[in-house]
Structure formats: structure tokens, C-alpha cells
Chain A
Amino acid sequence: MTARTIRTLTAATTAGVLAVGAAACSTPDNGKSGGPKDAAVVGIAYEPDTLSPLLGYGKDGNSKIFDGLLTHDAKMRLKPALAAKLPQVSGDGLTYTYTLRDGVRFSDGEPFTADDVVFTYRTILDKKTNNASKTELDAIKSVEKKDDKTVVFRLKYPYAPFAERTVLPIAPEHVASKQDVNTGSFTTKPIGTGPYLLSSWSKGEKLVFKANPTYWGGVPKVKKFTMAIIKDDDVRATRLRSGDLDGAILPPNLAATFKSDDDLRTLTAKTYDYRTVTLPSDNPVAGDRAVRRALDVAVDRQAMVDGILDGAGKAAYGPVPTDSEWFTKGTERRHDLAAAQRILDEAGWKAGKGGVRAKNGKRATFTLWYLSGDKLRQDHALAYASDAKKAGIEIKVQSGTWEVIEPRMKRDAVLAGGGSPADPDFDQYTLLNSALAGDGFNNMAFYDNPDVDKALTEGRRSGDKAKRKAAYDTIQRELVDDPGYTFLTHIDHLYVLADRWAPLTTQVEPHDHGLASGPWWDVENWRPKK
């Protein structure tokens, strides 16, 4: 090739690139008019890593692409989905038998059978499957197909809330078994039995769903449903205001700016989403029962609800919210600084230098960590430290990533969050059981109380609701006497949504708010208003 031909080539290429550049400057039509009536676009903050139920997607129910054996109604009561009815439970609570619904097909036309159920559960429990939530299925000893329409689960121990775990989505064996479960194409191109099909997933940008024309529960009226992933709260609010979105999850202060807008409705979802401070048993100050009890009454929870949450939430006294049927009435603690000081005085924590108490030469001081970048946790941590200061306990607030915080959890306090509404066992067993102290992120406070341990076991094993309630009452009362955590608030989740559909409802929501939570938990049941 001579220099001349290359020069010509270069010129031609430059001209070509130029043409593209020029085209980029032309202004195309701007399609920002109101979308069609049978389409909805919502903004969410979190993107799923995967859409494969085998890796944990939709494990708490409400995945739009899949169905579980069971599902929840608006009141979080279990109802059958791919099962024809609620399971039959044996008298000893060890065997769960599910009869499957007839005539259900996956979106590729293949029939749904008992083999798919067995495949799904066995694959999740397989050691080679990278599913980070498989501990939740710990109780299962075996899962077997009795006949084409019947699946039997046998448990290692009686586990009362087991049926709640069977909301997890069922994957098609004929597709998912033929590829690598951890990285195969099924993780991004799912096929299920649910009301929607995944139409496209542009990672980091949006997921688009279209109505499943053969859905066994009836074809949804909202034909196209788009979930835009917008991590920044302000950007989400701006795009909602510009008409780009029909709805979005927003923090309380931004949701308030839409109050006067007639076309938009604000929906408040009650939650089990708590913020709490772990008080590690090994810390010489935070592990002292008097200090824990003093902090529990020194903290002004209502001020946090009003100041930090703009009223969108309520005071928390344990993992169970005060308006839950599982809450033990009478365990509410009033903000009482004088009582806190009295408890500390009686326990020998005497006022010392700079307003910080001391006992036997030991200063009443410890460190509290929160996840850096999380404004809500930061506000809670600072408010908590300021309340503690008034009682004479010095809390040093520090921020860090989980990598920084985790090795320090045994000694330092952490501003933690959690919450799962389906069953009281889900939160409390891992949060309070002494056997799980320091096991991953379970029981971060290293809480150790034999009475609580006993009640936790009773609560999960007994199939009798009254007995279970009594067990969880015991735990909540123990948490008053020996609070290993200071529970601060339960946080409402706020959604602002165009008033174009009915019925718009919310469920009681968990700590995680991914795709499944929000007024679109039942988008398949929405009807256009006009």
C-alpha cells in the first residue's frame, strides 16, 4: 500500500465519520407526549443482578415473569398460584403436600409440571448454585414428585412458616437445566409462567415487560410495563415531573413536592423496614445491660420519625412494627431521659469529665458505624448519638463500607436495617438466635439470651398460631429487659403515581425494595380509569 492510497483512504474515512457527526447534530422529533393508556413507566432505584429465580430473583414473591406455588394478597395472606390450593400439612408439621394447578403453560408453550417444581428447589439447594439466599430453604430435607400434579416437601424439623417460603418462583426445567445455572442465558432471558414476559433488559437503564397473552390468570390490561432504573432520587423526581415517568419511589421530602399535583397520587406503603443500632455483647460499654436499657429510653424515637422521616414512619421497639398483629402491646417505651439517667446512676455509671459517665475508670463511650453514602442511616446515627450524649454516653459516629464495618461488628455498634413482613420467624430467628451470633451478617449484636433462644425455637416449630404468638410475646418482653439492639424506626415507603389506573394499592413491604414492592406489586390487575 502506498502512502498516497492510505492518504486517500484516510480522507474517505474522515468524510464518513464526518457524515455521522453531522447526522448527530440534526434534531429528530421529540416523542415526549403522554404514552398510550395501556402502557406504564415507573422509576425504581435498584436493579436486579439477575432475573433467574434459581439465583434468588423474586424469592419473596411478586416476580412479574414467574409464579410461585403460592403468592400473597394485598394483606400479605397466602393464596394459591401455581398450586391449586394451599398445601396440606401433616400433623407433625414435617410434610407439605402441594397439588398443582391444571393447564398452566410456560410462555414458550411448554406445560408446567411437578418436574419443574422439583427441579427449581433442588437446583437452588445444590451446592454449585451461587444462590446467596439458599439458607432460607434450610428446613427442606427433600422435595419429591408424587405424581404429575403433586409435589411433596419433607422437612428436617417442624417449620411453621415453611409455606411462606414457597412463594419463590418456579423455573422451567426444559430451559434452565440445559445451561450453566450461574451464568447461562436464562439469567438474563427468563421464561416463566407469570403475567408478563421480559421484552428487553438494557442493563443499567431499564427493564421492559409485555403482557403474557396466554397467562393462566387472565391477560393483564396494562400491556407494556417499563421499569426505569434511576439510582438518584432527584433525577427520578425530575423525570417524574417532566412526564417521562408515570410513577416512582421517592424519599419523603421529594414526595412532598408533588402534593399539590392533581394528576399524581402519593401512596404510602407500611413496612417492616426497621433501622436499629446493634449493641455488641462483647463491647464493655454497649454490652452492659444498664447501658442498653438506658439507651433504649434515652432515645427520642418520635423526634426521629418527625425530623428524619418527615412523619413517614413510626417508632420501632423491636423488629415487629407496632401495627402488626404480632406486636406485643405494652412493650412500647416512652422517651424518658430522667429514667435513663436513673438507670445509669443505679448501675454505678457516674457522671465524669466532659459530661461522659464512667464506671471503675471505664468511660461510657463506644463507636457506631453506618454505611457511607446512606443519608437515612447517617441521620439516624447522628440523632442516636446526640440523644445518648444527653444521658452521658458518648457515641463516636463513623461511616464506612461493609468491607470496613464487618470486621469491627463484634466490638463496635452498627446502624443496621432489615425487615421481612411474611413471618416473624424470618427476621427474628437470624437476628436474635445466639447460635447464629457472628454468622455472616446474622445476629450482628452477638445477642445471647437463653429465654429468647427457647422462644425462637417454639415460635418456628409450633403450627398453632396462639402458641406462636405467645412465643413472640416472650421475645418482645425480653427485649425490654435486655435490649441487645436499640430499635429506632419503621420506615414508610412512598410512591408517587399518575392517577390513571385502579385499583392502586400497596402491600406491607420488606426492607428490600426492588422490583416487586410498590403499587405495581399487582400491575397485572390494574385497569385504566377512563
Chain B
Amino acid sequence: MARLVGRRALFAVPVLFCVTFGVFAIAAASPFDPVKAYAGTAGLTASQENLDQLRANLGADDPFTVRWWDWLTSAVTGDLGDSSSLRQPVAQVIAERIGWSTLLCAVAFTLAVLGGTVLGVLAARRRGGLFDRAITFVCYTLEAAPPFWLGLLAVWLFALKLDALPAGGLTDTASEVATAGQVTHHLILPAAVLAISQLPWFVLYVRQGVGDAMDEDPVRGARARGLSERTVLFGHALRSGLLPVLTLVGSRVPELITGALLIETVFSWPGIASATVEAATSVDFPLLAALTVLATVAVLAGNLLSDLLYGLADPRVGFDG
């Protein structure tokens, strides 16, 4: 197992190397001008001399390869540089925001996995039954719905029409301290929407896996021995039916991250999403690169996690395969 982790960690180095290079190359090719973005409205009255000075100070004229190498070499020593769009050190931007994004993602993902498993098992029990057909239909519909659209719909219904939940933010507008109660109250809508956008994949996978397992010999044998339906379902079918879901857990991480970006924007959630959007449109290289590395690491770690879980859950699968 340690060998698997070690090999993946080694493999991550060239991947991160290429990804950051790609980010710098794409950002350099984008039509956005970092100097204009930095100057904002003041740039609309600034003289050319003033703008040129800014350009020199920001190092915006250096080729992207030079900027990438500078960034990489100082990032390796732990210095992530300064964000030009937020006028803060990058490490500080990430530290201030990542906790809120993690909270949102963790809650949503847990809800999605648990909800998906329960609904999937219920659907698999009577395949072709009314509940199965209904839930499958809903899941296919939800798969097609973009998360931000679900978010806007939720805001419209729960915040505007029913006035039951806040439409956005981390706390009430007048409140300054982020108390647990306030944060929880504000977390419900975004976390629920993000969970629902992820839910169908788990429902459909669990339904398929458990349903197939029900037809396998061990389960049929257990039934034949007269074990209760509950024991058969949870003791035998669920165990082998969950294997594909474990793979899914890892592979859903990228979707979860992009989903969270949209959800955070819709709900003004002060996570890293708004920083990412800001960084991209302002050609804020240091921030953009750091956030991309974070996302890449999350995806690689997700894949590793699902492989590890798979190996643990099914002894037939070796770690060195």
C-alpha cells in the first residue's frame, strides 16, 4: 500500500509541473490585460506613463515562461507570491478561504454519498418497481441540470418565495462574527444544492451495483439459507455492490470542485471560488497557479483514495496491480 502511495506521489510531480505550465501559458494567451485589471476604474483615467510604470512593477511584460519559472522556484521554497488582484499574499488568500470551501464540499459530499447509497439500495430492492422508476427518472433529470441553475432555483424558492433560508453569504448581513448557528443556517442551501447535483451518480451506481449483486451466487445462496431480507441486503449485496461506488467517490472530486465554484458564486459563499474567478479574469498568475495546484492535488488525492478504499474493501484487489 505504501508503494502505491509513493508511486502516485512521484507521478504527481510531473503532472503538477505540466499543469502549472499550462495555466501560465493559457493565461498569457488570454485577451485579459493584468495591468488594466489591476488599475480597475482608475485605469480609465490613468496616463500611459502611469500604466507603463504599473506594467513594469507587476512584471507583466516578462514572457510567461520566465514568470512561470520564477513562480515555481519560489513556490518550492514555500513562498507562493502575492496576489495582484486581491493585494494580499497568496498564502493568506488561501488560508482565509479554503476552510469555508472545505466545509461546504465535505458536507455536500457526505450528504450525496449517504443519500445516494440509501436511495440506491431502496431502488435496487425492487428493480423495475414504481420507486425505482421514479428515482431513476429524477436522477437522469438532475444529471442534466447544471448546478448553478439548481442554485438559482433554490434561491428563488427558499429565499425569495418562502423566505425560509438566507439567499447568500456566510452570516446575516448585520452580523460580524461567524457563529456556528449562523454559518449552519447559511450553509443549508448551498450544501443541499451541491449535494443534490452530485446525488444522481451515487444513486445510479449503487442501484446498479447492489442490483447486480442480488443476482450473484453468494446472495442467492444466502437467501436460500433463509437469512432475513435485511441481512441479505445489507450484509451481502451492499458489500459487494458498493465496490463501484468507491471508485466513483474519487472520480467525482473534479466535478465536486467545479460544482462548488459555481455554487459559491451563486450563494456569495466566501470560499476560494470567487478568488479563482477573480484570479482568472485579472490574469493574477500567482493566485491562479496556486489554486490550480490545489485543485490538481485534490483530484489526484481523490483518485488515490478511491483506489485505496477499493483495495481495503475487496481483498481480491491488490495494491500493486
A interface residue numbers (CB < 8 A to B): 1, 3, 6-7, 10, 14, 17-18, 20-21, 23-32, 35, 39, 41, 49-50, 52, 55-56, 127-128, 130, 132-136, 138, 180, 182-183, 187-188, 199-200, 202-206, 208, 226, 228, 230, 235, 238-239, 242, 244-245, 401-404, 406, 418, 430, 436, 439-442, 512
Identify which of A203, A226, A442 gathers the most chain B CB atoms within 10 Å of its CB. Answer: A203
* Cα distance, A235 to B267, chains bound together (Å): 11
Task: Find chain A residues with CB under 8 A from B33 CB.
Answer: 403
Report yes or no: A24 in contact with B49, Cβ–Cβ below 8 A.
no
Instruction: Supply 8 A–B pairs (Cβ within 8 Å), ascending by A.
Output: A24-B184, A28-B182, A203-B96, A206-B169, A244-B172, A403-B31, A440-B43, A441-B44
* Nearest CB of chain A from residue B173's CB, rounded to whole Å: 5
- For B40, give the chain A residue with the smallest CB separation: A49
In the complex, what residue of chain A is closest to B305 when comparing beta carbons?
A10
Asked if B98 is at the interface (CB within 8 A of a chain A CB), the reply is no
Q: Does B87 contact A135, Cβ atoms closer than 8 Å?
A: no
B274 to chain A: which residues have CB within 8 Å?
Answer: 203-204
Q: Which residue of B lies closest to A34 (CB)?
A: B174
Task: State the CA gap A245–B174 with chains docked (Å).
Answer: 8
Bound-complex Cα distance A187 to B86 (A)? 9
Binds A, one of B52-60, B63-71, B200-208: B52-60
Q: Which 7 A-B pairs have the closest CB atoms?
A: A28-B181, A132-B39, A132-B42, A183-B82, A135-B47, A441-B44, A187-B87
Query: Whole-angstrom distance between the alpha carbons of A238 and B158 in the complex?
Result: 13
A530 to B106, CA, bound (A): 47
* Across-interface contacts of A238 in B (CB, < 8 A): 159-160, 167
Distance between Cα atoms of A7 and B314 in the complex (Å): 12
* Residues of B in contact with A (beta carbons under 8 Å apart): 1, 31-33, 36, 38-51, 53-54, 57-58, 82-83, 85-89, 96, 106-107, 110-111, 114, 159-160, 163, 167-170, 172-176, 180-182, 184-185, 187-188, 191, 268, 270, 274-275, 308-309, 311-312, 315
Residues A130 and B38 in contact, CB atoms below 8 Å apart = yes
Q: Is the interface of B mostly helix, strand, loop or mixed?
A: helix
Given the complex of chains A and B, what is the CA–CA distance between A182 and B286 in angstroms? 15
Besides the known contacts A28-B184, A31-B182, A239-B173, 14 further A-B residue pairs in the complex with CB atoms under 8 A apart? A26-B184, A30-B185, A127-B53, A130-B38, A132-B50, A136-B45, A182-B82, A188-B87, A203-B270, A205-B170, A238-B167, A239-B167, A439-B48, A441-B44
Please determine whether B45 and A130 come into contact, CB atoms closer than 8 angstroms: no
A421 to chain B, nearest CB (A): 14
Most B CB atoms within 10 A — which of A24, A182, A206?
A: A24
A23 to B58, CA, bound (A): 46
Contacts of B32 in A (CB 8 A): 403
Question: Within the assembled complex, what's the spacing in Å between the Cα atoms of A401 and B281?
Answer: 11
* Residues on B with beta carbons closer than 8 Å to the beta carbon of A202: 170, 270
* Contacting residues, chain A, for B167 (C-beta < 8 A): 235, 238-239
Q: Which residues of B contact A128 (CB under 8 A)?
A: 57
Report whether A134 and B41 are in contact in the complex, using a CB–CB cutoff of 8 Å. no
The CA of A439 and the CA of B32, in the complex, are separated in Å by: 19
**B185/A134 in contact, CB under 8 A:** no
**Cβ-defined partner of B181 (8 Å) among A29, A208, A244:** A29
Query: Would you call B40 and A242 a contact (CB within 8 A)?
Result: no
CA of A204 to CA of B312 in the docked complex: distance in angstroms? 43
Which residues of chain B are within 8 angstroms of A208 by Cβ–Cβ distance?
A: 176
Report Cα–Cα, A235/B173, bound state, in Å: 13
Q: A7-B312, A21-B111, A203-B270 are in contact. Are A183 and B106 (CB under 8 A)?
A: no
The CA-CA distance from A403 to B159 in the complex, in Å, is: 37
In the complex, the answer to whether B173 meets A41 with C-beta atoms within 8 Å is yes
Residue of B nearest to A26 (CB): B184
The contact of B174 among A23, A187, A226, by CB within 8 Å, is: A226
CB <8 Å contact, B173 and A133: no
* Minimum distance in angstroms from A211 CB to a CB of chain B: 14
Q: Which residues of B contact A226 (CB under 8 A)?
A: 173-174, 176
With most chain B CB atoms within 10 A of its CB, the pick from A55, A130, A188, A228 is A130
A180 to B89, CA, bound (A): 11
